[in-house]
Structure 1
Amino acid sequence: MSGNYSVFEEFLILAVSDKPDLKVLLFCILLCIYVLTVTGNAIIIMVSQMDKRLHKPMYFFLSNLSFLDICNTSTTIPKMLQVLIIKRKSISFIGCVTQMYFFLAFVGTECILLGIMAYDRFIAICSPLKYYTIMNHKLCFYLAGFSWVSGLGNSVVHTVLTFRLDFCNSNKINYFYCDIPPLLSLSCDDTSINEVLLLLIGVFIGWTPFFCITVSYVYIIVTVMKIRSIESRKKAFSTCASHLTVVVLYYGSSIFNYVRPISSYSLGKDRIISVMYSVVTPMLNPLIYTFKNQDFEKAIGRKWE
């Protein structure tokens, strides 16, 4: 390394508060969120696998989503808890690379998966007689596999391009975890390639699934409005309401955080937004998807009999 460049063996995570009273409160809140997230999503996976009546495409994709939420929060929250309780803010260079790789992989996979889940609801409501013919086991596995491969591939590109940069400005990350925007702000190299690819790949990972979701729900709404029975109409809408709620929460925050020019980033505001899709949404997903879900409530009831 030449010039004033430095090779950092570790980074410092600074976004977690130093105030003793606030640190205890944050630790308790984050710990509760993590326990609720893991427990809630694990229950969804367990019940969906154990009850044969839930062996449907909808619950297959929901189990994938729950597994992603467990993995997603497990890449970030444990490190935050460590910083709060041990007061050690450092994360090794390799640890930072690993954390960012898996975090981006799970975020990208979830974006694609939410689009696939919208397609599943579109077929279920707009072509109910052909539903199980179209959404067969083979196609479901292929679609889930595609979401995972896309997420992992997206993460490889961004991780390699980010950590090929020289970090000479500082090793202090003013963020909760290792992510693209805060790391690019520490680089003294030209990050234009990173920014262009972030936008281009973001169109595939973020905007394309979001467009598919929008089109699917336009057709769903048109189809449901043609149903004469009010009860049938409510039932049709209820099967989509939970997924649509998650889409609004997740896409509204994740797309804003990644698919826009780096020059418009504000780490202070972006930290708050990142908490929404990396911490809050994974915790709320089990509640959103199981609230007033009769199939799931009956499945849990059968397990307690």
Structure 2
Amino acid sequence: MEATNLTINGFVLLGFYEFPSFQLGLFLIFLILYVGTLVGNSVPTALFCFDPRFHSPMYILLCNLSVIDMSFSTMVLPKLLDILLTGNHVISYNGCFTQYFFYVVLIVLVFFILAAMAYDRYVAICHPLRYSYFISLQVCFWMSLTFWSLGVLNGILYVILVSSCIFCGSHEVDHLFCDFKPLIKLSCSDTHTIETITLVLATIIGVVPSIMTLVSYMYIISTILKIPSKEGRQKTFSTCSSHLTVILLFYGTMFGMYLRPKSSYSMDQDKVFAVLNTGVIPMANPLIYSLKNQEVKKALCRMMRKYILRKDYMKKKYGRIIVGQTTKPVLSPHLIH
């Protein structure tokens, strides 16, 4: 694309501009990812909210994760779909920094929610008799509130730091959404202080929950290895295998995006990781939990059966009424005496 100048009131998200002949195909792919993410996460979210059997700490945390996944996709994919379909690459300053704000908030949330879920599994496996003492609905509520507050505070701080930069020359953001590295590259001002502050904050936010998650799983694995029977070890491990899979997917993409050596850094690789982080993984997470959680699968089957039975009942009921109305003879008014 041609270089932009200061007359543009915002930034230009380049997206997948290097593949002009594949824009429609990419649009269909990302549309499927977005719809799949919304449907896949809204169903278990509704299940956890309205089925009393799922009003437990673990499922409250899962509900938080589903909301985060839907937010991740909604933050990025609608604008990307607009770019691919209409070619409108321009995003306003407010829109750009709003994207970046929610990206920071959601990243912080995922780190802490995954750490809380690891702690939940640690207590359930290592201290099952004291589970209700350490983990309760009230504890989960306050944990969730704390995590969301930390995310919002970090998002505000990051946006203040990045928006204080002076942007001149090209306003082309070579990415799928407004992120720190591509925005900093466009700044004409000295960004050393901003980069140092954000690095320190990111390290704290990333390291603290990561250590919590790692320590929790060290105790979990140690406890599982002490179980004498193979069947017991497999059954216990299966209770945390879904969560472990989600952790590996999330940390793998985060390390790929932000901890690669500078010598191998390229925006094309960042775009691939961004697709995984905001499209593929949010759609895959509910499938991972649903397929590996027998309670969720049974509840989904019950919900589908109720829906089918209700549909059949309504069809038969109103079908009989319609048949009765159509077969009943109607007399003309002049024949009635």
Deviations for 1:31-79, whole angstroms, at most 9, x for unmatched residues? 0000000100001101112222211111110000000111111010000
Aligned to 1:246: 246
- Runs of 4 or more off by more than 6 Å in structure 1? 260-264
The CA distance in 2 between the partners of 1:103 and 1:66, in whole Å, is: 15
Aligned to 2:156: 156
CA contact (8 A) 1:109 1:152 kept: no
The CA distance in 2 between the partners of 1:161 and 1:264, in whole Å, is: 27
CA contact (8 A) 1:181 1:265 kept: no
The CA distance in 2 between the partners of 1:302 and 1:285, in whole Å, is: 21
Q: TM-score, normalised by structure 2?
A: 0.84
Equivalent position SS for 1:234: helix
Aligned to 2:11: 11
Q: TM-score, normalised by structure 1?
A: 0.93
The CA distance in 2 between the partners of 1:247 and 1:292, in whole Å, is: 15
Aligned to 2:195: 195
CA contact (8 A) 2:15 2:80 kept: no
Per-residue deviation, 1:264: 7.5
Deviations for 1:132-156, whole angstroms, at most 9, x for unmatched residues? 1210111111111111111111111
The CA distance in 1 between the partners of 2:251 and 2:199, in whole Å, is: 15
Distance 1:276 1:252, change over 3 A: same
The CA distance in 2 between the partners of 1:113 and 1:147, in whole Å, is: 8
Q: What amino acid is aligned across from residue 160 of structure 2 in structure 1?
A: V
The CA distance in 1 between the partners of 2:20 and 2:243, in whole Å, is: 39
Matches within 5 A, 1:1-305: 6=6, 9-17=9-17, 19-258=19-258, 265-303=265-303, 304-305=305-306
The CA distance in 1 between the partners of 2:12 and 2:263, in whole Å, is: 23
Per-residue deviation, 1:185: 0.4
The CA distance in 1 between the partners of 2:270 and 2:241, in whole Å, is: 27
Deviations for 1:172-215, whole angstroms, at most 9, x for unmatched residues? 01101111110000001111122212221112221221111111
Aligned to 2:325: none
Per-residue deviation, 1:250: 0.8
The CA distance in 2 between the partners of 1:165 and 1:260, in whole Å, is: 25
The CA distance in 1 between the partners of 2:80 and 2:157, in whole Å, is: 26
- The alignment covers a number of residue pairs equal to 301
Equivalent position SS for 2:12: strand
Distance 1:51 1:105, change over 3 A: same
Deviations for 1:258-281, whole angstroms, at most 9, x for unmatched residues? 467989753222222222222221
Out of 261-270 and 154-163, give the one that drifted further.
261-270
Out of 260-269 and 109-118, give the one that drifted further.
260-269
Out of 36-45 and 263-272, give the one that drifted further.
263-272
Percent pairwise identity: 39
Distance 1:231 1:135, change over 3 A: same
Out of 231-240 and 258-267, give the one that drifted further.
258-267
CA contact (8 A) 2:101 2:156 kept: yes
The CA distance in 2 between the partners of 1:174 and 1:257, in whole Å, is: 14
CA contact (8 A) 2:242 2:292 kept: no
Equivalent position SS for 1:291: helix
Deviations for 1:81-114, whole angstroms, at most 9, x for unmatched residues? 0001111110011111111111221121111111
Q: What amino acid is aligned across from residue 87 of structure 2 in structure 1?
A: K
Out of 265-274 and 69-78, give the one that drifted further.
265-274
The CA distance in 2 between the partners of 1:270 and 1:126, in whole Å, is: 39
Out of 226-235 and 141-150, give the one that drifted further.
226-235
Distance 1:206 1:107, change over 3 A: same
